[in-house]
Structures are given as C-alpha cells and as structure tokens.
Structure 1
Amino acid sequence: MHRPNQAGICGGKDGAESIVVSGGYVDDEDYGTELVYTGQGGNDPATKRQIADQQLTRGNLGLARSQIDGNPVRVIRGAGGDQKYSPRLGLRYDGLFRVVDHWSDTGKDGYKIWRYRLVALESTDPPPAAPLHGTTDQQTPRTEATIQRLVRSTAVANGVKRLHGHRCQVCGIQLATPAGPYAEAAHIRALGKPHNGPDVPSNVLCLCPNHHVLFDTGAIYVDGWHRDGGGRRR
C-alpha cells in the first residue's frame, strides 16, 4: 500500500500514490473523512518540530500533481496520529482520498510548509465497456480507473460570472460555446477546512479555465488590498 519505509509520501513529479498519517508533523489536522496534511521535509524526527522550510519537490510536488490530474491517493493511518481516527497499534489502510487543495503556509514553528486538503473519495463511477466502432468486431482493451473532480455551480458563482459578462478577470477573454459564454468561478479563500471561506460574491473571481488552474495551483494569487494614486482602496 505504501512503498517507502520512512517517507510519509510515496510519489514524485508524476503524482502521489499514497501517504501515511502518523503524527509526524505538528501542523497535521485530522477530521476523519477530511485531512489537512503537511508536506515532507524540514522536520526533526526526534522532536517532530519543523526546523527548515519545505520545498515543492519530491512527494510535495507529487501531491500537487495529483490534485491537478484528479487522481486519488491511498491514505494509511498510523498509531501515532490523532487518537480519535488512528489505530491503537500499527498501521491501517483507510481508503482513497482526493487532493482538493494545496497551498504554502507558515507553520506553527515559523517555517514555510506545504499543506494539502484531502477528502475521502465518496463514489466511483467507472465508464462502461463499449464496443469499438469500425470494421472489426474486436473491443478496445480497457483498464478500470477512478478519477473524481469536484465541480461547484451555485447562484453566487453564476451571479459573479454574469456580473463580469463571463470574461476572465485576469486576461479579459470570454469563451464562446454553442450553448453561450463560458467562465469558471474560483473562491479566493477556499470553502471548507481550514480556510472556511465564505460563499459570497466578494470571495469569488470570474476566470477562464487556464487562469483558474493557475490560481488553484498558486501560480497566480491575490495579494491583499492596496490603494491607488487617489487613495482609493482597490
């Protein structure tokens, strides 16, 4: 279930396969079907305290890639984790989780860490096998896989998109489809733990798919408020 003997994350630039939650980092948060997981690196194994900044490399990069690709991650809990959700002894496989968010933060010990919000995979819906269309009776070989993505469509999000005419607030592009203009809504402060952002218009951006991906992965970000030359808050 988890190949490394020591590392808490199994994976790299192509994605993460599995993680172990065993109380190795003071910034971990366990809510049962939801985790706020701390990336690897910069940790003193003896004290479990952070002594250096973490980098978006190795397993940390793998978990970020899993979010982008929508691929689930195996979660194994160890006896050293939160007593409410962890086994009394040894290790326990707790199923597939999906990475829904990742971001950099300053941890409790004052160093830069990477954090990942994972939620339990609620359902699997593999595509049915279908015959290959053409001149042969052979069927296309299929391998069953599970990918799940979270898609939100709320009155608040739709209202923000209408307010901006379905134009991206970064590049100004409006995508035209046969069904009408298309844009995506992105929450500035994410909903759910640990951000607990409000689902209100002031917390929503209207973005094209390209800039939505860049925003979700931290390539672009909102850098607070500033005042323009006339002293107005922007």
Structure 2
Amino acid sequence: MSKRVFGHIPNVYEGDIFESRIALSHSKVHRPNQAGISGSQKEGADSIVLSGGYEDDLDLGNIIIYTGHGGRDPNSKKQVAHQVLSDKNKALAINCQNQLPVRVIRGANHKSKHSPAFGYRYDGLYKVTDYWKKRGKSGFDVWLFRLEKLEVDRGSIFELNEDSPEYAKATRTAVIHQRINRDYQLTLKVKEVYDFHCQVCHTRIVTNAGFYAEAAHIKPLGVPHNGPDTLDNLLCLCPNHHIMFDYGGFTIEDDFKLVGLEGELYVKAEHRLNREFIRYHREHFTT
C-alpha cells in the first residue's frame, strides 16, 4: 500500500517548475489531477495547489489564507453552497492539530504576485496554524486555513502508512512568521482575576513553579481576524479547554451559557467581556 508523505519529495526541490497537473502527479508532489487538496480526513493533507479557483484565497507569500474544498458548481465554478468541515477540509484541520507539514504548489492561474509565469511551482513546506469558518464573498460559508512557511531540513520527511503510521525522527525546524507584540501583563492580569482557575471547569493546575493557566483570545490576534490584545478579549482557561475553544469544540452564548459543553462560563464582575468578540468566535469557529 502506498504511503502518504508529509514533507519534501526526494529529488524535488523548492522552486521546481512542472508544466502540468499530470507532471505534478507523476512526480508525487501532488497526486490528484484535479483536486486542490491531497489528503484524507483520517490522515491529514500532504499537499495543496493554489490555482485561482476560490475567490476568498489570500496569498501573502510566507502566509497564505487558503479556502477549503466544496460548494462550487462544477460548470460555472461559482460558490453555490456552504462548505462543511469534512473530507479534504477536515484533512487540513488534522494538519493543524497534529502539526503535520503540507506541500504548497502555486499555479500560473492563481492571481498573485507570488505565482509562477507558467505551469506549477513547488514552493516548499507550510504549517497550518489556524482554521475557521466565515461567510465568503459569494454569500456562502467557507472554511479558511492559515498557512505559514516552514524552513525544514531536507532530511525531515514524514511518511504515513494507512495501516501503521511510521514517522521519521524529529528534526529542528526554523519557522518564518510575523510576530505579534502581545501585552503579557494582560495575560497575567486575567489569570490573577480568576486566581488561575479555568472559567469553564474551575480547575487550577499546580506545578513546581506555582499555579498554571492559559490566557485565550476570543477573537484571535493577527491577520485575518485582527482581534485586539485587550482584557475584554481574554479568557482564563485550562489547557484542555483552551484547545477546545480555539478549535471550535465549544463556544459561548451572549448570556455566557456554553454551547457544546454543559454549564456556563464563570465571569467575575470586574472582567467585562466584549460580546462582539464572543459572537465573532461563535460565527467563525463552529460547524
């Protein structure tokens, strides 16, 4: 049974040009002849192609906002239905949660200054750092995936066998990304307000360095969400509920009742949450 390779393909180098999708498939850089995402919802995605098919794509070079699969009319290519987090889209979500790299190929038809003049160009490895739902330009829901460029040792190749996963030894990687200047005094403040207790489960984690909790932004920082680094956009959560919240495992109603979990969010009087940010999370991160 063929293995799915997460990483560089041997003897294929960043910047290599392929004249057609068939050539891409034969090289094993991107196996499907038509689909833009190569992967499965059980394993993850090993490669994607930027070919200009989706109007909500945003290509900034080292950062890509990539539109998921589905909902387009096969003839007009227009978006005519909502996308769902399944199949190829779920494959990219698995990459995000399991930190699997994805190969990125840009096609000449992709309207970007970063695209090649002709054919298809292999542009290296990216990691999926975030994914969310939004109402697209067409008026239908689409799933978007934020990809950040990776600089990876050529020897770092992950292979996945559908029957028995086998991964190469871990190697050091250097990540190219834009850093966001966070106010760490605010993160400490929200933890102190709740005495390091999770606002969902009320757990307080004890370590040999003291108590531990995490500050979670309701509306994420950075492009494309551009949420503010302010106290009314922060929650104090345990690691489990932080991950669940970031990946849409639960969300919050305007009256602070939880959706996806029982109960309601514990909110102290001195911590005034902005319901606009709560609505944003509810609209963009739940299925």
TM bucket, shorter chain = 0.7 to 0.9
Query: Deviation of residue 48 (structure 1)?
Result: 3.4
Match of 1:9 in 2: 37
Structure 2 CA distance for partners of 1:101 and 1:223, relative to 1, 3 Å: farther
Query: Deviation of residue 93 (structure 1)?
Result: 1.1
Matched AA of 1:83: S
Match of 2:66 in 1: 37
The runs of at least 4 aligned residues of structure 1 exceeding 4 Å deviation read 144-153
Point out where structure 2 has 5 or more consecutive residues left out of the alignment. 1-28, 157-166, 257-268, 274-287
1:8 and 1:204 mapped to 2: Cα distance? 36
Aligned-residue Cα RMSD (Å) equals 3.0
Structure 2 CA distance for partners of 1:45 and 1:64, relative to 1, 3 Å: same
Contact 2:125-2:152 at 8 Å conserved across structures = no
Matched AA of 1:103: W
1:174 aligns with 2:204: yes
Match of 1:21 in 2: 50
Query: Deviation of residue 195 (structure 1)?
Result: 0.5
Matched AA of 1:101: D
Contact 2:152-2:173 at 8 Å conserved across structures = no
1:195 aligns with 2:225: yes
Match of 1:143 in 2: 169
Query: Deviation of residue 224 (structure 1)?
Result: 4.4
TM-score by length of 1: 0.82
Match of 2:97 in 1: 68
2:191 and 2:89 mapped to 1: Cα distance? 33
1:142 and 1:113 mapped to 2: Cα distance? 34
Query: Deviation of residue 9 (structure 1)?
Result: 0.9
Point out where structure 1 has 5 or more consecutive residues left out of the alignment. 128-140, 227-231
Contact 1:103-1:114 at 8 Å conserved across structures = yes
Match of 1:138 in 2: none
1:47-196 matches, within 5 Å, as 47-122=76-151, 143-144=169-170, 154-196=184-226
What count of residue pairs does the alignment treat as equivalent? 216
Query: Deviation of residue 47 (structure 1)?
Result: 3.6
1:210 and 1:147 mapped to 2: Cα distance? 26
For residue 155 of structure 1, give the secondary structure of its aligned residue in structure 2.
helix
1:59-117 deviation line (CA, Å, top 9, x unaligned): 10011111111122111111111331111111111111111111111111111211111
- Report % sequence identity: 48
2:173 and 2:221 mapped to 1: Cα distance? 21
Matched AA of 1:44: D
